Amino acid sequence: MITKQAQFDLSTRNTFRMKVSCALYVEVTEEEDLLAIDWASLPQPVFVMGGGSNLLFTGDFPGTVLHVAICADFSTNSSAKLDQVQGQAAKLDQVQDQAAKLDQVQGVFGRGQILGGGPGPASVPQNAVECGIGGPGPRGEIGPSPKIGWTRSTSSCEPPSAAQSSAQTSSVSEPSSAAQSSAVADPSSAGQSSDVADPNISPDCPDNADVLVTVPAGTVFDDFCAWAASEGLWGPENLSLIPGECGASAVQNIGAYGVEAKDIIADIRAYDRETGSFVNIDPATCGYGYRTSNFKTIWKGRYIITAVTYRLSRTPQPKLDYGGLRKVLEDRGVAVPSSGTCAPPHMGRGRGPFPKEMGGAGVERSGTEFPEEGTATPLSAQIIRDAIIDIRRKKLPAVEEIGSAGSFFCNPVISHEHFERIVAIAKEDNGPEYAVPHYDAPGGIKVPAAWMIEQCGFKGRRNGGAQVYQNQPLVIVNASGTATPEDIIGLEQEVIKAIQTKYGITLHPEVEHI
């Protein structure tokens, strides 16, 4: 369904709560709606907006704001559906001549219609399990969406050969067309797959498999994170509580606590406005970097993302060495590895599909020692998610209570020589034993912008209705509830000038200015 509203008030559609409007607001709830839009008749330019986070409207928008409201309903008892799917899959495993039916084990929930898509078979790892949640299945099924469907891969769970691996991960300079990837198929083939499950897959295969989860673009990203953690699936837990929608995660390359969206994105489904067709985009071609992608630069305005396929894992893959997360977990009595991010063999797995005891205690892997089983709370994706939510709630304003766009500035990456100059300034200000917070990063050293802003005395600073947030100076908030874009921009410029003067670093906003 397509809805259109002229001179639309955007104050409830952006988390900064800027009182601005757009010439036309368009919302679509089905993928085929994008084919029905007369793009030339819309007020220009056309801006695709997700949940309205991470952006600042600097005034009334003269064009069209488009929202893709295709979404999954994670309030449904997906665990029960997964249990049902798993039970059916287990029975199918016992009957070799019925293995082909495994691709059709599925349940349905949510709303919206997807024409098809997701990564083609060539891009699916051999040991992958596929799960479409409110979006095109990874092999291009057509049918009611959101839906959930588990399938085995088309061959054994042995690691692919070098040649196979190269073919599976090869990137292209331009996304393949829907026709090339069979993303739009004959509706009569709904629910069918050209791939047949291999009856020779070993019983242990599921525990070593990736899980490909396709989610509609309009789904709230944190709802997806919550679902994954509750199912014992690893990957997005460190990104918990980041506001916004799944489509925007692929545009912005959102990140937190040592994880970025690009680390778990397997495929992107989008409408190409230039060709008028749906395409599947390999994330390797997206130019992902720190809070950026080709969607924000050379592809800006071309693609409208309708679904994102994430690659999750049943194998524990905790990332703990960022932002004090490890210490928070240790203080809570949680079993964490003494170094690195390797997972202890008795790590908790939640309600994940095809659960299996991992067994073994006090085992050492790659030089990393773990607590003996039973001496501490087992680590799980859910426990990490809970800890990160608590950390974020203490530091960051709740967008439903105080208007903000999250982290306002990017953390700069500087040379080692420049960092030494900053260390000298910091020791002069704070004493000879003072240690400047920093992280190793590709190309140099990352210095927290929040630390520099606080050192310059901006914590709690106001400009009209805008304020540098007291608990986290990386955030600028609409403290009065009536702040204007000019208030926000004025405070932004004050911060940039002060950091440049003191440290010789030019901060760049993470928040997109519209």
How many Cα neighbours within 13 Å face the side chain of 369? 2
Mark whether 291 is an active-site residue: yes
Sheet containing 265-272, strands listed edge to edge, beginning at the edge strand earlier in sequence: 106-108, 147-151, 129-132, 210-216, 303-313, 265-272, 277-281, 176-177
Q: Residue 107: exposed, middle, or buried by beta-carbon count in 10 A (0-12, 13-18, 19+)?
A: middle
What's the per-residue H, E or C state across 88-134? HHHHHHCCHHHHHHHHHCEEECCCCEECCCCCCHHHCCCCCEEEECC
Rounded CA-CA distance 143/305 in Å is 19
Rounded CA-CA distance 167/152 in Å is 19
Closest CA to 28 of 15, 40, 44, 39: 39
How many Cα neighbours within 13 Å face the side chain of 457? 4
> Please, are residues 454 and 498 in contact by the beta-carbon 8 Å criterion?
no
Rounded CA-CA distance 141/193 in Å is 7
Rounded CA-CA distance 102/303 in Å is 33
Alpha-carbon torsion, ordered 6, 11, 300, 221, to 10 deg: -120
Query: Cis before residue 146, ω within 30 degrees of 0?
Result: yes
Query: Of 291, 311, 314, 326, which one is the catalytic site residue?
Result: 291
Of all helices (H) and strands (E), which one includes residue 271? strand 265-272
Alpha-carbon torsion, ordered 172, 174, 175, 181, to 10 deg: -70
Residues 6 or more apart whose CB falls under 8 angstroms from that of 334 comprise 376, 377, 378, 379, 383, 387
Pairing of strands 413-414, 403-407: unpaired
**Which residue type does 332 have?**
R
Work out the number of other CB atoms within 10 angstroms of the CB of residue 333: 9
Tokens representing 316 are 């524990």
H-type alpha helices, 177-263: 205-208, 221-230, 246-252
Query: Of 21, 407, 461, 492, which one is the catalytic site residue?
Result: 407
Residues in the chain, overall count: 514
How many Cα neighbours within 13 Å face the side chain of 265? 33
Active site residues: 291, 407, 510
